[in-house]
Amino acid sequence: MKPVRVFFLTLLVARCSLLAYAESTFEQQAQLAWQTRDKPGQTQAAIRFWSEAVRAEPKRADLWIALAKAQGRAVRHAASKEEQKKWANSARVSADHAIRLDRQNAEAYTVYGEALGQWADAHKGMHSLSAVRQAIDALQKAISIDPHHAYAHMLLAEFYRQAPRLFSVGDKEKALQHAKLAVQYGPGYAINHLVLARTELDLGKKEDAVAELQKVLSLPPPADAIPETRADQETAAGLLRSMGVTPVATPCGEAGNACAEKP
């Protein structure tokens, strides 16, 4: 083989290797940032790296799902209405990419349903009601694919619990049904118990709600939901105090204090 051809072949191999390394680095850096998402700037860092990762590998639904989740967290922690709308718009687009790439992925439909709900909340008005109904449809699709998908059941419970019955999809009994399924299929996640407790409070079941809130405070945070568990435990402790009930100690310290997620 001629020296010039060998040189260009070597250059091509090196370039391909460099591109593959960069692609994997974007994903790895996003995951590292996401692990400390409760620290200032880390959620945005994860979004930047996952955005680069999907540019490099646009046909990977799992990357679009991860990006949509990070953008959804940015919605929840937005400092202004404009910022909330910006991230809600982005999360909806990312989640839509995910379901277009994989029509049988329950997680993709779940993040799409959540993104639609956040978009509707950020763009309040009559036009947002159709987004709520689309969100319900997406979550129903998720549980038709995976009936044990706890997070999808939890989101359905919240939609049915919070939406007004007269003009939208509100239904407290359906909320209770899905909240119980969320706890059944995801007993280790604080958010599921918290949503069940809130639904029970709405229905006047105070004793059951108190029991669920105390369960929230007794849960050790799962590895994939440490900051979220801490925030949910703080919320549960606050709800208990508002009812005149003393919170029990949490696995990470005094209830609602030592392990609370900071804004």
Q: What is the mean pLDDT of residues 93-103?
A: 98
- pLDDT (0 to 100) of residue 235: 97
37-81 per-position pLDDT tens digit: 999 999 999 999 999 999 999 999 999 999 999 999 999 999 999
- pLDDT (0 to 100) of residue 126: 66
The residue whose two tokens read 């930047």 is 48
> Which structure tokens are listed for 112?
């799409």
Is the pLDDT at 12 greater than 70? The verdict is: no
End-to-end CA, the chain: 62
Distance of alpha carbon 189 from alpha carbon 227, whole angstroms: 12
Those residues whose C-beta lies under 8 Å from the C-beta of residue 107, and which sit 6 or more positions away, are 65, 142, 149
Those residues whose C-beta lies under 8 Å from the C-beta of residue 54, and which sit 6 or more positions away, are 60, 63, 64, 67, 94, 97
Closest by CA to 98, choosing from 34, 142, 137, is: 142
- pLDDT (0 to 100) of residue 6: 39
170-185 per-position pLDDT tens digit: 789 999 999 999 999 9
- pLDDT (0 to 100) of residue 252: 53
CB 216 within 8 A of CB 236: yes
Of the listed ranges 12-16, 70-74, 137-141, 152-156, the least confidently predicted one is: 12-16
Those residues whose C-beta lies under 8 Å from the C-beta of residue 99, and which sit 6 or more positions away, are 61, 105, 108, 109, 112, 138
Q: What is the mean pLDDT of residues 92-96?
A: 98
Distance of alpha carbon 73 from alpha carbon 261, whole angstroms: 13
Q: The domain 148-263: what is its CATH number?
A: 1.25.40.10
Q: What is the mean pLDDT of the chain?
A: 87
Closest by CA to 50, choosing from 17, 91, 102, 83, is: 91
Distance of alpha carbon 4 from alpha carbon 1, whole angstroms: 9
